[in-house]
Amino acid sequence: MTEKLWGGRFQKTAEEWVDEFGASIGFDRELVLEDLEGSTAHVKMLGKCGILTQEETDAILGGLEKLKEQAKADELEYSVELEDIHLNLEKKLTDDIGPVGGKLHTGRSRNDQVATDMHLYLKERTKEIIALTEDFQKAILEQAEAHVETLAPGYTHLQRAQPVSFAHHLMAYFWMLERDKGRFTDSLKRVDLSPLGAGALAGTTFPIDRHYSAELLGFAGVYENSMDAVSDRDFIVEFLSASSLLMAHLSRLAEEIILWSSQEFGFIELDDAFSTGSSIMPQKKNPDMAELIRGKTGRVYGNLIGLLTTLKGLPLAYNKDMQEDKEGMFDTVKTVTGSLRIFAGMIRTMTVNADVMEQEVSKDFSNATELADYLAAKGMPFREAHEVTGKLVFTCIRKGCVLKDLSLSDMQEESTLIEEDIYDVLAPVAAVRRRNSYGGTGFDQVRVQIGKAKELLGEA
Ligand code: ARG
């Protein structure tokens, strides 16, 4: 006879390597506490509905409690032959408390059981990720507050464009993360539903109370359709999708950190605690953590596309294909959680070389727009002002200088509208300060923005 919990109709057992191929215990052991929690709620519900006697209910609850303690102490051992976490735990329960343990699975299937575990798991992890995202936002805010008046080159096409407040640049990421939080928070609405009691696919003949078990598990509601309940993995896709976008944002900042900390830029220096050295080149200090986060973005995208592809064309209801939903999800939780923690630390501890950035903006052409705007403000059509300024930039390139180095008479050769006050206008600090349109980089606007951000985080 087979050891399998479903072995009744089988005449022979699969060979070990076949079992191994089908088993998920190697990874779904991660769901041990969620599985025990789901079972606990299920048994309480069975007891309340009179499907199990008080004595049976108490015996099973006692057994589950003991398993929970062992799980927390990492004392449980699992067998591949028992396929997955659900069957492993049920077997252990029955071994511990006797045949009454077999009553746990009344009115339930592994299909609604595993879906319940996943909902419980993802709900908590999503909340953790939201909290970590917020901590990262705080780290950004701290640096931003310290650097409102720090000038930095602003780029388009990675070419110097216009000078900006360094805080403004950093705060752009704050708002991306705010949207990420919004997506995770919104996804919680759909994670917060209980599939428990959907059975294999069609519900059950037992007079169960799905709302009661959902309430015990802290779910806000239940799935309305048992077939949907056991075959839905949208909530995981949503999680992976929100994670992918978050990683896209992290990888963009990672790329900037890598550039900024290069000798060519020299805008920041990462703390030693978040850098590594080279095994051969003694001078090296590498931004490994930022590179790794940029790299890990790929696996998160892969997990998203992997699950979407797994789900494509699956008939209702449960199919074993769906066992493939787990590793990508666990991996994403780990990757996103780790990346957020590292990033918060990296940003908090980095040194900003304000003087380097300020020097840089004083010796480039990122103030050319100031000159064009100056002429336009004096009535010259902007197109013409653009042309005049372009010619003066060209003069500078020929002479090997920047706009502020031209004499007034040099400038007046192109337009007599240019007067002595142009030198104040060309100062990078003026260029930034005067960009006071709503949401612009002007210092006052950046302060408004930081104020709003703090309000959002409840810090104002
Ligand atoms: N290990 C399975 C999974 O992760 C659990 C559900 C199995 N259900 C079934 N009918 N074989 O999807």
Q: What is the pLDDT of residues 146-163, one digit of tens each?
A: 999 999 999 999 999 999
Is the CB of residue 85 less than 8 Å from the CB of residue 29? yes
Spatial separation of the C-alpha atoms in residues 129 and 336, rounded to whole Å: 7
Q: Which atom of ligand 1 is nearest to the CA of 86?
A: 5
With a CB cutoff of 8 Å and minimum separation 6, the contacts of 27 are: 326, 327, 330
With a CB cutoff of 8 Å and minimum separation 6, the contacts of 197 are: 42, 45, 107, 108, 112, 203, 204, 208, 209, 210, 213, 222, 226
Is the CB of residue 325 less than 8 Å from the CB of residue 236? yes
Spatial separation of the C-alpha atoms in residues 227 and 250, rounded to whole Å: 37
- Ligand 1 centroid–CA 321 distance in Å is 9
- The answer, yes or no, to whether residue 285 has pLDDT greater than 90, is no
In the prediction, which pLDDT does 13 show? 84
- Ligand 1 centroid–CA 319 distance in Å is 8
The neighbouring-strand residues paired with 162 are 154
Does 24 contact ligand 1 (Cβ within 6 A)?
yes
Does 88 contact ligand 1 (Cβ within 6 A)?
no
In the prediction, which pLDDT does 4 show? 81
Does 111 contact ligand 1 (Cβ within 6 A)?
yes
Write out the residue limits of the CATH 1.10.40.30 domain(s) in the chain.
362-456
* Global ipTM: 0.97
- The answer, yes or no, to whether residue 117 has pLDDT greater than 90, is yes
Spatial separation of the C-alpha atoms in residues 293 and 336, rounded to whole Å: 9
Does 84 contact ligand 1 (Cβ within 6 A)?
yes
Residue nearest to atom 4 of ligand 1 (CA): 323
Retrieve residue 23's tokens.
């088993």
Spatial separation of the C-alpha atoms in residues 259 and 257, rounded to whole Å: 5
Spatial separation of the C-alpha atoms in residues 405 and 384, rounded to whole Å: 22
Q: How confident is the model at residue 95 (pLDDT cuts 50, 70, 90)?
A: very high
Nearest to 274, CA basis, from 289, 259, 284, 261: 289
Spatial separation of the C-alpha atoms in residues 3 and 82, rounded to whole Å: 8
- Over residues 164-185, mean pLDDT: 98
- Over residues 313-328, mean pLDDT: 98
Does 325 contact ligand 1 (Cβ within 6 A)?
no
In the prediction, which pLDDT does 284 show? 78
Does 137 contact ligand 1 (Cβ within 6 A)?
no
Retrieve residue 81's tokens.
């032959």
Q: Which atom of ligand 1 is nearest to the CA of 85?
A: 1
Does 116 contact ligand 1 (Cβ within 6 A)?
no
Q: Which atom of ligand 1 is nearest to the CA of 322?
A: 12
% of the chain with per-residue pLDDT over 70 = 99
Q: Which atom of ligand 1 is nearest to the CA of 24?
A: 1
In the prediction, which pLDDT does 101 show? 97
In the prediction, which pLDDT does 8 show? 83
Q: How far is CA 81 from the centre of its chain?
A: 36
Reduced to 3 states, what is the DSSP secondary structure of residue 352?
A: strand
Does 231 contact ligand 1 (Cβ within 6 A)?
no
* CATH class held by domain 362-456: mainly alpha
Q: Which of 42, 278, 386, 437 is catalytic?
A: 278
- Ligand 1 centroid–CA 127 distance in Å is 26
Is the CB of residue 234 less than 8 Å from the CB of residue 223? no
Into which CATH architecture does domain 111-359 fall?
Up-down Bundle (1.20)
Query: Among 122-131, 265-274, 347-356, whose mean pLDDT is lowest?
Result: 265-274
- Ligand 1 centroid–CA 201 distance in Å is 13
- Over residues 193-209, mean pLDDT: 98
Is the CB of residue 112 less than 8 Å from the CB of residue 86? no
Q: How confident is the model at residue 250 (pLDDT cuts 50, 70, 90)?
A: very high
Nearest to 247, CA basis, from 184, 169, 156: 184
Into which CATH architecture does domain 7-106 fall?
Orthogonal Bundle (1.10)
- Over residues 395-423, mean pLDDT: 95
Does 191 contact ligand 1 (Cβ within 6 A)?
no
- Ligand 1 centroid–CA 176 distance in Å is 37
Concerning whether 157 is annotated as a catalytic residue, the answer is: yes
- Ligand 1 centroid–CA 250 distance in Å is 34
Concerning whether 278 is annotated as a catalytic residue, the answer is: yes
| Average pLDDT across the chain, whole number | 96
In the prediction, which pLDDT does 2 show? 46
In this structure, which amino acid lies at residue 195?
A: P
How many CB atoms are closer than 10 A to CB 454? 14
Is the CB of residue 419 less than 8 Å from the CB of residue 428? no
Query: Among 13-22, 276-285, 337-346, 405-414, whose mean pLDDT is lowest?
Result: 276-285
Is the CB of residue 442 less than 8 Å from the CB of residue 434? yes
Retrieve residue 277's tokens.
């050295």
Reduced to 3 states, what is the DSSP secondary structure of residue 365?
A: coil
In the prediction, which pLDDT does 12 show? 86
Write out the residue limits of the CATH 1.10.275.10 domain(s) in the chain.
7-106
- The answer, yes or no, to whether residue 1 has pLDDT greater than 80, is no
Phi, psi of 276 (to 5 degrees): -135, 165
The neighbouring-strand residues paired with 160 are 155
Residue nearest to atom 12 of ligand 1 (CA): 323
In the prediction, which pLDDT does 228 show? 98
Q: How far apart are the first and last CA of the chain?
A: 68
Q: How confident is the model at residue 187 (pLDDT cuts 50, 70, 90)?
A: very high
Q: What is the pLDDT of residues 49-79, one digit of tens each?
A: 999 999 999 999 999 999 999 999 999 999 9
Q: Which of 86, 109, 157, 262 is catalytic?
A: 157
- The answer, yes or no, to whether residue 127 has pLDDT greater than 90, is yes
Spatial separation of the C-alpha atoms in residues 50 and 32, rounded to whole Å: 27
